Chains A and B, each alone.
Chain A
Amino acid sequence: MNRRLFKERTLLIALYSLTVFGCLVLAVILATVITRGGPALSGTFLFEEARNFGLEGGILYQIAGTLILMTGAALVCLPVALGSVLFQTEFLHSPPLKKIFRLLIYSLNAVPTIIFGLIGYLFFGVFLEAGVSWVTGVLILAVMILPTLHVSIHEAVESIPDHYREAGLALGLSPGQQMRAVVLPQSLHGIITGTLLGLARAAGETAAIMFTATAFSGVRLPQSWTEPVTTLQTHILVLAQEAANPIALTNAWGAGLVLLTLVFILITATLWIRSGLEMEAER
């Protein structure tokens, strides 16, 4: 009997250490990025243009570019994801069609991000001759986050209790009215959290937009459809690869710190919305 208790305790300690180790990874990442990138941070760093190959100035337009691509991707993707989810749940009743549609979305989820870059360049850059532009980037990222948004919105819509739907139907609402009155309000949290997660994913992506949407220098805010932007992700990569000066590397870590902060804000918002709603559901 004592042996069993001993075994129980040992295993529990092992589990704790495994978990603590996992969380330590997060701490190590945070600590590294903060200690290496922290010194770069200052008012000018956040609010000035990058100059002299990343040695001087800041990352204002990199931040702007990342935000443009993220919000653009979300704005393009959200209606498509939402619409196709609604079509799938409200109109698509035939089981084989449903299955095919779901398979398509799942397979999109399995596409490695670099492939989005390849095909995106081919399609927008070569086939449509749109070249390297922020619009291309927005479209590529929108396709890339489509499965993330689709899956979380789909889950939210599917989890609407049947009695809400039936209450709406029994009042004689048409499908369009039903969507507006019941489906959308009831799945709002899923729509928001899905979008935020998609945004976080878009913010972390480098490979797919490197040569399709961004330039390293000479760009500020795009004035036309065909101009590229510059982003934090690609700025970090180019500096890390090509800068001969250690100050530029510190600036790359600084940009990394800003990017990480941006992503963490999004994820924290997601967690917050979700936990708030869970509390409401428990009441």
Chain B
Amino acid sequence: PGGGFHVLAQDSAVIRVAGSTTVLPIVSRAAERFQADHPAIKITVNAGGSGVGVHGAGTRRLDIGLASREITPKENDRYASLHTTVIGRDAVACVVSSEIFRSGVHALSRKQIGDIYLGKITNWRQVGGPDRQIIVIDKETHRGTRHVFMRYLFGKSNARAPGARLVTGSNNEEQAKIAQSDAAIGLLSIAWINDDVVGIGIREGRRVIKPTLENVRSGRFPIARNLNLVTAGEPNDVVGRFVDYMLSPKGQELVQASGYIPIHSPQAVSKVAGSHSK
């Protein structure tokens, strides 16, 4: 479809970007820097969600879509020409309220987390914590964070979680609700982990894998995903230049500064991890 008000990015200096809120802070900052270097180019960045990014790029209503999940087969069928560029990685940790962590729950197995989300385990006592009801926090079904998390737990990105008590949308909402509670469990991008909202390890046999940047970079931490820029076809012209900028050391620095894992590391990882434990 086309015509009407549609303006191609190639013949104007406006790049329209929207989509996943996880990728939004990175791209919003990068766009600022990029525009400072290229005053003639204008980049508008908006939220919306991964779906908005994919559909927007597919219908060419957007020049770049942001997606924190993979493109589904259905979407690939509908828009034949979708092209993705990975600009960074994000790990999704299972997080708990700090009270729970302090009471000794430092790690859970995949089975345990799964049972909690299925509603089979309902009290922290059952996994070695205090005698307190578990407040299970789920995410909106279309969130990329949830897709990877559920794929890890149940092998299916759109698995149900009948044990959930609350459903949140954005990372902040989730973070705030876990921090306000003293018995909550949830799933969160590791960029949002702090003292009130603690990421717990995943127990695999006798091994515990903590949600640290090293573990994510090395591929040991099992729940991770790519942060994608989606374009209709190969990015070229101005759009291509911006995508290249994202992949350049300057762009990757911003990925890291926003709390995510760069594809091409500009700095030592340990320093990054340190900069994010407040």
Asked if the two chains touch in their complex, CB atoms less than 8 Å apart, one says yes
Interface residue A206 (Cβ < 8 Å from any Cβ of B): no
Q: How far is the CB of B127 from chain A (nearest CB, A)?
A: 28
- A214-230 interface bits toward B, Cβ cutoff 8 Å, 1 = contact, 0 = none: 11111100000111100
Quick check: B4 and A211 within 8 Å, CB to CB? no
Given contacts A52-B29, A211-B48, A217-B28, contact A241 B4 (CB under 8 A): no
- B15-46 interface bits toward A, Cβ cutoff 8 Å, 1 = contact, 0 = none: 01110010011001101100100000011111
Interface majority SS (helix, strand, loop, mixed), chain A: loop
Contacts of A82 on B, CB cut-off 8 Å?
none
Size of the chain A interface, CB-CB below 8 angstroms? 27
Quick check: B5 and A241 within 8 Å, CB to CB? no
Quick check: A218 and B43 within 8 Å, CB to CB? yes
Interface residue A260 (Cβ < 8 Å from any Cβ of B): no
Given contacts A216-B24, A228-B46, contact A51 B5 (CB under 8 A): no
Quick check: B42 and A128 within 8 Å, CB to CB? no
The complex places the Cα of A219 from the Cα of B171 at a distance, in Å, of: 24
Give the contacting residue for A242; candidates B3, B7, B170; CB below 8 A: B170
Given contacts A51-B32, A226-B7, A227-B14, contact A242 B46 (CB under 8 A): no
Given contacts A211-B52, A242-B24, contact A52 B32 (CB under 8 A): yes
- B236-278 interface bits toward A, Cβ cutoff 8 Å, 1 = contact, 0 = none: 0000000000000000000000010000000000000000000
Contacts of B192 on A, CB cut-off 8 Å?
244
Interface residue B206 (Cβ < 8 Å from any Cβ of A): no
Interface residue B172 (Cβ < 8 Å from any Cβ of A): yes
Interface residue B118 (Cβ < 8 Å from any Cβ of A): no
Quick check: A242 and B43 within 8 Å, CB to CB? no
Quick check: B29 and A131 within 8 Å, CB to CB? no
Contacts of B172 on A, CB cut-off 8 Å?
240-244
Interface residue A116 (Cβ < 8 Å from any Cβ of B): no
Contacts of B5 on A, CB cut-off 8 Å?
128-131, 225-226
The complex places the Cα of A217 from the Cα of B21 at a distance, in Å, of: 13
Quick check: A217 and B14 within 8 Å, CB to CB? no
The complex places the Cα of A128 from the Cα of B1 at a distance, in Å, of: 12
Interface residue B61 (Cβ < 8 Å from any Cβ of A): yes
Give the contacting residue for B170; candidates A129, A131, A228, A241; CB below 8 A: A241
With both beta carbons as reference points, the residue of chain B lying nearest to A132 in the complex is identified as: B46
Quick check: B47 and A242 within 8 Å, CB to CB? yes
Contacts of A243 on B, CB cut-off 8 Å?
25, 172
The complex places the Cα of A52 from the Cα of B24 at a distance, in Å, of: 11
Report 14 cross-chain contacts, Cβ distance below 8 Å, ordered by A residue: A53-B24, A53-B25, A53-B28, A131-B16, A210-B47, A216-B46, A218-B17, A219-B44, A226-B5, A238-B47, A241-B170, A242-B171, A243-B172, A244-B191
